[in-house]
Structure 1
Amino acid sequence: MARRTSRSTAAAAKAESGDAHLPSRDDILRFISENPDRSGKREIAKAFGIKGGDRVWLKDKLRELQDEGLVKTRRKKNLRPGTLPRVVVLDIFSRDAEGGLIARPAEQDEEDDGPVPLVTIRAQKGARTTAAGVGDRVLARVSPTEEETGPAYTGRVMKVFEKRRRAVLGVFRELDDGSLRIEPVERRQPELIVDAEARNAAKHGDLVEALPISQGRYGLPKAKVIEVVGSITTEKAVSLIAIHAHEIPHIFPDAALEEAAAAKPATLKGREDWRKLPLITIDPPDAKDHDDAVYAEPDDDEKNRGGVIVTVAIADVAQYVRAGSSLDREALRRGNSVYFPDRVVPMLPERISNDLCSLREGEARPALAVRMRFSSDGRKIGHSFHRVMMRSAGSLSYDQAQAAIDGKPDDKSGPLLDTVLRPLWDAYGVLKRGRNAREPLELDLPERKILLKPDGTVDRVIVPPRLDAHKLIEEFMIQANVAAAETLETARQPLVYRVHDEPSLAKQESLREFLASIGMSLARGPALRPAQFNNILARVDGSDQEQLVNEVVLRSQSQAIYSTENIGHFGLNLRRYAHFTSPIRRYADLIVHRALIAARNLGGDGLSAEEEARLEEVSALISATERRAMAAERDTVDRLVAEHLASRTGEEFSARISGITKAGIFVLLPEYGADGFIPVSTLGNDYYIYDEPRHALIGQRSGKGFQLGDGVDVRLVEVAPLAGAMRFEMMSDPVHPSGSSKSLHKTKRDKARRQRSGKDRRK
């Protein structure tokens, strides 16, 4: 360590004296700005001829720039804050003085990525105008602009998503005085007036799309109904709101349905016959499609004593969904299936997802399978891919499989217990050793499930038990995904990875400050591993701070995305990872299937050169559709619970603080799994200050307040069911939060430092 430090110091001295050809800070920053696609540490060192011990100096210099907020690290690249990837999804929101289109990134975390840059949209070469307009969402290839003023980037449109109508989604109301109104579902949208001739046959209680047509100086704006979506009184009205609000495609084009109807069952031609292998499916009890089956057995190779062979077979969707077909185009447009409490919006028509591709019990089905060998310590020591015809020997629920292992088999699981289930659990015991050695991130955040009544309203919210059966299938699927990525890398076959970046330096520092405030520490350095987070979580296990620390660690993590560039999966602690196991519901998996077919010469329907050229575009598209689905699912839960509690204003509930901002407190009702808000102005007579490191609001006079993770009692004050919004009043008294009061002053000091260092950032 002393030798490394002395080398770094010597290099710094040479840089300052000008005796060495080492770059200055400005040289490094300029290179990073001009070369965002080759700005890794090795590439910077190569560009400036930095060798030997001087590389330690470069590492320290980059860390200094990161600490000052002048550089961020993403996917092992050093980038200036506010930079964009080469291909990005944009929302066009305005025009400049010359009529040019101005856009912003559709999905970017300003806290994680710095100030959100703007993009000027240019027409393609030879075209007078672009095909896009204000209000459109587009996929664009962007590059830094050379102009000194205006947006930092220039973009050229690669693809225009469906045109966005500037319509308002709301519920049509006919008031007692005969006047007509539209109550918008968005919280910030004002109520709209509708003239009788503009109602378009809408009836009271209909969910409608309306186009604002005028706004006078006084009174409410007017609108005309352009489409009646359905009745708000139907069972599935709440998810229908989310579908339309987030523009999720939910009606299949006739051409796609015709292709699905015309599809013929696969034959044995070009496939291995695995129909006698007793693969089984283990799924939720209400699953309609079964896309993965598993089997395990001891390895009889004397060189691998105690080892096991695990087989995972996945529905062969590529057999039926061919590149460029109507089915394929619609699947890419959807990107993934979307799951609501009351319905599923599938990626593929039922003829494909629930019939031809579903691994039904006792029926022959085509599959793409991987056979994996593991040593006794859980290390994968080999694998092979096969295109097969299989027949499921049984279709069990998680509860059924677990009950059989626990000594309570039923008529269906009993015959499979000794021959199939016990070997599966034995193999899982082996794979667990490898998982434990790998040490993936182990957050303890229970998932809630909403159960509905027959009329579509909330019955109750439950936390399903986390069984070994769930963990078994999860670990088998993870290993199959790893095998897919390894095979494609070895074959030098382009693919779409599932990547999860390590926490950004800004989030690391925020987490470090929080942990310091409760007497815990997190080591510095860019090479954080999941094991360090697990150590923190283990130290608070069973304590009053367990929920709080789990929440804060979760918030420090980056979001997983799809990418053609492999940076590994931080949360799973894997160097390479690709989604392979759910092609019925994720387009990313279908791409990986086609890539495997091409790489292993398993048929003529593999990934084509044209598809390979579009993988970067596809990665951006499906990452965006995944975020869209998550937002729609979350909004639906909020609306369902708000509707369920609309008649209970004035009642008190037990809650947990799930978020703290300057504006107030978000509280989660554990019984229902939905959030509400408490404005800071209603907290009491004290003046509350936001303490960012401790995730708390602290009273200036009393020093008492409220902190993330606290259990509190709240009173429901107001409910807006259509918007999924609930406002509460705090009933619990403030308390002294965890940590030292010094952190509040440190927050102000650090914020001022960050603002000073960020003055030179381009907006």
Structure 2
Amino acid sequence: MKEKTPISLHEIEGVVVGHRDGHGFIVRDDGQPDLYLPPNEMRAVLHKDRVRARIVRHDRRGRPEARVTEILVRSETPIIGRLLYENGVWLVAPEDKRYGQDVLIPKGATGTAQPGQVVVVELTEPPALFGQPVGRIKEVLGDIDDPGMEIEIAVRKYGVPHQFSEGALAEARALPDKVRAVDRRGRVDLTDVPLVTIDGEDARDFDDAVYCEPARVGRGKGWRLLVAIADVSHYVRNGAPLDIDAYDRATSVYFPRRVIPMLPEKLSNGLCSLNPGVDRLCMVCDMLIDAKGEIHAYQFYPAVMHSHQRFTYTEVAAILQNTRGPEAQRHAALVPHLLNLHDVFRALLAAREARGAVDLETVETQIVCDEAGRILRIEPRTRNDAHRMIEEAMLAANVCAAEFIASHRHPCLYRVHERPSADKVELLREFLKALGVPLTVPDAPGPRDFQAISKATADRPDAPQIHQMLLRSMQQAMYSPHNVGHFGLAYEAYTHFTSPIRRYPDLLVHRVIKALLKDGRYHLPVLPVPGEALAKLAKRLQERGTSEAMTRSRGRPSQEVLGWEAAGLHCSANERRADEASRDVEAWLKCKYMREHLGEEFTGTVTAVTSFGLFVTLDSLYVEGLVHITELGGEYFRHDERRQELRGERTGVRYTLGSKVAVQVSRVDLDGRRIDFRLVRDDAAGEARPSGAGTGEPSARRGMAASSLRSAKRAGPKANSGKSGTGKATPARATRGAGKAAGAQSPGSGRGRRPRG
């Protein structure tokens, strides 16, 4: 039993996170469990406000409840919503339901906005215990059905910078259109080396180019692999306006049909992009790799290159499959170099397996839209040898960059991936035990343990669910100046070097390497650090204590280390922000797409089991929705977290991770980004029909659309994603709409552009 947080007058600081049901939570700066805020406490605060609070009581489950004692900082994030005119009053209903309160708009503060339009609101009066927030219309985005509106909402909702400063634009305009003679000084001329880029069909910025040739490595055979990366640091000067804007964004954000770039287009798609047929400045990682895939030697140097071809993954895969086919004949001069790349790839792949790196294949999807932004289809992304070939080349270059910097003991941002936590290891152990997997997970597992489980279960029908649990048990990768290694890739040191056009940490790595090549030292510019990042920095320093690696002789963290620590937190947070914004847009598009399929029936797979229901991903559409516990039948269902299942107490029917079920699309909430399903019931028995529940058996019905008559008969009450909150045994007929976990749903499992390494 967990120890209760004692009730005291001690005050705690943190950030308010609202919930669509009206209550909220305080995410504490000290990393302790969140504090619950009841609806009456949420009246005077808003989502993302920074507050001070104290614990006043505990609920029946021992969870601490807080009372806000002081509002420290009001969130400056603008509120996006629809303008409404009701009973003679103008108000804006926030698009993000976590805000919980409508914003009153006085007469004369609506500007040119019309009722129903999506607007951006600036608060003029904060909420109070007995008064709603008041604001004015700052910007009119347009109508909700306008093409691209979902992206306009997301960039503002998540605070993604989408306009460059005048200083950055002026600096970009002043840059040359091509490589000048003065830029070539002190660089190796590689323009005669047939370097090529290999990217997706829709790529517009080309960070990396590759070339490979056979070479003697020691006494044996091997390869010389060149990875040339765009030299962004030559044009983006330390602390200049372009640099400040790039740091603020920290990453490019990829949406379907649109990119919010980290750098202005003149750089990202022009001067820095390794476009074919033009000279470009680059930083090169030149490696010798032996037959076992081990990096025997490497060196870094600035160079000038000339891309000899812009290949797509599809073209390269076709050449590798048929070296005498039409694609190969069209690029005959480059085919030998591509075959050399494929040979070194296989050696690197063997080395990856030998060191025990975790390789989990998950289904990634992409949304295919027409010119008007309407979804045509959602399809899985297929990865071929061309994708993996480039990925392994980038991993090798990233490892060399990390080792080079670590050997010089220079601070930098490493890409770190820590070991799984003890709680997650225990949950994984119980899950595997329940499924009868004959492998144990040690208390401190290594990558090889995860690799062994992945291999041992690869041929099981529930392999996708087991691999998903392996993935969920691992920590999130992040940027940090403290090199703790990369668990998933089984590297002692790893960093990001290969994408400086779209990732700020890569740009910093380039600057450090350049400084070291000149026997110098790189100093971070003085850049703004958000208050939230500072709070997290203080928390991390408190957790780590004053370790020798972080401190000077007197035990105080050096300003240099603190600067790198803050930069790592900022870049990691903005990476998460970009992912959340991308997922939000994909969820919006999928909801809009599923509105056309209301009432239709599909087969699906249970991809998550919670105490309030089942998340099901449709087999044919790759869209995820919730089957609420109230839709499972008229009995109590017990949630077993270890087995990842819901079991009916009367019938014993089980719904487990990986169960096949037949569902009907019952409700789509575009504003809430939620899709609700109900289980298809047998008309004779009147009971929910699990499709091989708990057995992995396929459904007898294959995603056939129901007729309008049948859909009307089965429509019933609308599904809801609330949590029943009854503890272990959950009544299927409980009152709907209670509980915080419901807001966690994000339909669909699709992702944006896959990052390399």
Short-chain TM bin: 0.7 to 0.9
Answer yes or no: is 1:258 the counterpart of 2:170: yes
Give the counterpart of 2:121 among 195, 204, 210. 210
Give the counterpart of 2:581 among 626, 629, 632. 632
Answer yes or no: is 1:313 the counterpart of 2:224: no
The amino acid across from 1:385 in the alignment is F
Counterpart for residue 300 of structure 1? 216
Answer yes or no: is 1:459 the counterpart of 2:376: yes
Give the counterpart of 2:192 among 276, 295, 300. 276
Answer yes or no: is 1:381 the counterpart of 2:292: no
Cα separation, 2, equivalents of 1:479 and 1:395: 22
Change (3 A) 1:457 1:361: same
Specify the SS of the correspondent of 1:297.
strand
Q: Deviations over 1:125-147 (max 9, x none)?
A: xxxxxxxx997789xxxxxxxxx
Matches within 5 A, 1:237-636: 237-264=149-176, 265-266=178-179, 267-300=183-216, 303-407=218-322, 408-410=325-327, 413-601=330-518, 606-607=522-523, 612-613=560-561, 614-636=563-585
Change (3 A) 1:170 1:671: farther
State whether residues 591 and 607 of structure 1, in contact with CA within 8 Å, keep that contact through their aligned partners in structure 2: no
Specify the SS of the correspondent of 2:420.
coil
Cα separation, 2, equivalents of 1:435 and 1:424: 16
Cα separation, 2, equivalents of 1:376 and 1:706: 48
Cα separation, 1, equivalents of 2:695 and 2:420: 24
Cα separation, 2, equivalents of 1:396 and 1:435: 25
Q: How far is the alpha carbon of 1:269 from its aligned partner?
A: 1.0
Cα separation, 2, equivalents of 1:221 and 1:621: 30
Give the counterpart of 1:184 among 94, 106, 109. 94
The amino acid across from 1:252 in the alignment is F
State whether residues 562 and 620 of structure 1, in contact with CA within 8 Å, keep that contact through their aligned partners in structure 2: yes
Q: How far is the alpha carbon of 1:527 from its aligned partner?
A: 3.8
Cα separation, 1, equivalents of 2:191 and 2:127: 67
Cα separation, 1, equivalents of 2:135 and 2:2: 47
Change (3 A) 1:242 1:166: closer
Cα separation, 1, equivalents of 2:456 and 2:350: 22
State whether residues 401 and 413 of structure 1, in contact with CA within 8 Å, keep that contact through their aligned partners in structure 2: no
Cα separation, 2, equivalents of 1:342 and 1:639: 14
Cα separation, 1, equivalents of 2:219 and 2:514: 29
Q: Deviations over 1:533-590 (max 9, x none)?
A: 2222223323221122112111111100001111111111111100000000000101
State whether residues 238 and 525 of structure 2, in contact with CA within 8 Å, keep that contact through their aligned partners in structure 1: no
Q: Deviations over 1:726-755 (max 9, x none)?
A: 12212252466479xxxxxxx989xxxxxx
Greater fraction of residues in helix: 1
Q: Deviations over 1:172-214 (max 9, x none)?
A: 3568x98755443224535566565332211244321235769
Cα separation, 2, equivalents of 1:397 and 1:545: 34
Change (3 A) 1:479 1:568: same
Give the counterpart of 1:172 among 83, 105, 108. 83
TM-score normalized with structure 2 length: 0.74
Amino-acid identity (%): 34
Give the ranges of 4+ consecutive aligned residues of structure 1 lying more than 6 Å apart after TM superposition. 133-138, 214-222
TM-score normalized with structure 1 length: 0.74
Specify the SS of the correspondent of 1:511.
helix
Change (3 A) 1:695 1:477: same
The amino acid across from 1:733 in the alignment is R
Specify the SS of the correspondent of 1:299.
strand
Change (3 A) 1:405 1:736: closer
515-524 or 355-364, larger mean C-alpha shift = 515-524
Cα separation, 1, equivalents of 2:406 and 2:134: 58
Give the counterpart of 1:712 among 641, 661, 667. 661
Change (3 A) 1:576 1:466: same
Counterpart for residue 235 of structure 1? 147
Cα separation, 2, equivalents of 1:217 and 1:609: 44
Q: How far is the alpha carbon of 1:634 from its aligned partner?
A: 0.9
The amino acid across from 1:377 in the alignment is K
Q: How far is the alpha carbon of 1:428 from its aligned partner?
A: 1.6
Cα separation, 2, equivalents of 1:115 and 1:678: 28
Q: How far is the alpha carbon of 1:430 from its aligned partner?
A: 2.2
Q: How far is the alpha carbon of 1:493 from its aligned partner?
A: 1.4
Q: Deviations over 1:431-465 (max 9, x none)?
A: 22212212311212121010111111111111122
State whether residues 498 and 563 of structure 1, in contact with CA within 8 Å, keep that contact through their aligned partners in structure 2: yes
Cα separation, 2, equivalents of 1:724 and 1:150: 28
Cα separation, 2, equivalents of 1:490 and 1:674: 47
Q: CA RMSD in A?
A: 3.5
696-705 or 371-380, larger mean C-alpha shift = 696-705
Cα separation, 2, equivalents of 1:666 and 1:336: 31
Change (3 A) 1:262 1:137: farther
State whether residues 659 and 708 of structure 1, in contact with CA within 8 Å, keep that contact through their aligned partners in structure 2: yes
Question: How many residues align structurally?
Answer: 610
Answer yes or no: is 1:700 the counterpart of 2:649: yes
Matches within 5 A, 1:191-206: 197-206=108-117
Cα separation, 2, equivalents of 1:166 and 1:364: 42
State whether residues 322 and 605 of structure 1, in contact with CA within 8 Å, keep that contact through their aligned partners in structure 2: no
The runs of 5 or more residues in structure 1 that have no matched partner are: 1-67, 71-80, 82-89, 95-101, 119-132, 139-148, 152-156, 740-746, 750-763
State whether residues 512 and 521 of structure 1, in contact with CA within 8 Å, keep that contact through their aligned partners in structure 2: no
Counterpart for residue 37 of structure 1? none
Cα separation, 2, equivalents of 1:134 and 1:726: 26
